[in-house]
Amino acid sequence: MKVPTLMDSKEKNDKINSGLGKFARYTSLAFEMGIVIFAGAFGGLKLDEYFCTSKPWFTVALSLFAVFSSIYLVIKSLKNE
């Protein structure tokens, strides 16, 4: 009789690689990207308001930084599969 234990690594990988596991992983990546980009744009907007800039330099800079950062995070997470 086999004693119930934690999932073997093979069983765990099979569960993660199932359709629902992949869907959940990619959905969380999309939400993560959206949150990072939103935070960058919002932070840039608040900095532009605080420093009373004539053009939205902080918004543009932080938005671009957030986009590149989120792409980097997605590539890094996909590479670790």
Q: Where are the domains of the chain?
A: 31-81
So what's the pLDDT on residue 78?
87
For the stretch 43-65, what's the b/e string if a residue is b when 16 or more beta carbons lie within 10 angstroms of its beta carbon?
bbeebbeeeeeeebebbeebbee
Q: Which residues of the chain have pLDDT under 50?
A: none
**Secondary structure element (H or E) that encloses residue 5, with its range:** none
So what's the pLDDT on residue 13?
62
Mean pLDDT computed over every residue of the chain: 85
So what's the pLDDT on residue 25?
84
So what's the pLDDT on residue 55?
96
So what's the pLDDT on residue 74?
92
Question: Alpha helices of 1-81 — where are they, by DSSP H?
Answer: 9-16, 19-51, 57-79
What single DSSP character describes residue 6?
A: S
Say if pTM beats, i.e. exceeds, 0.85. no
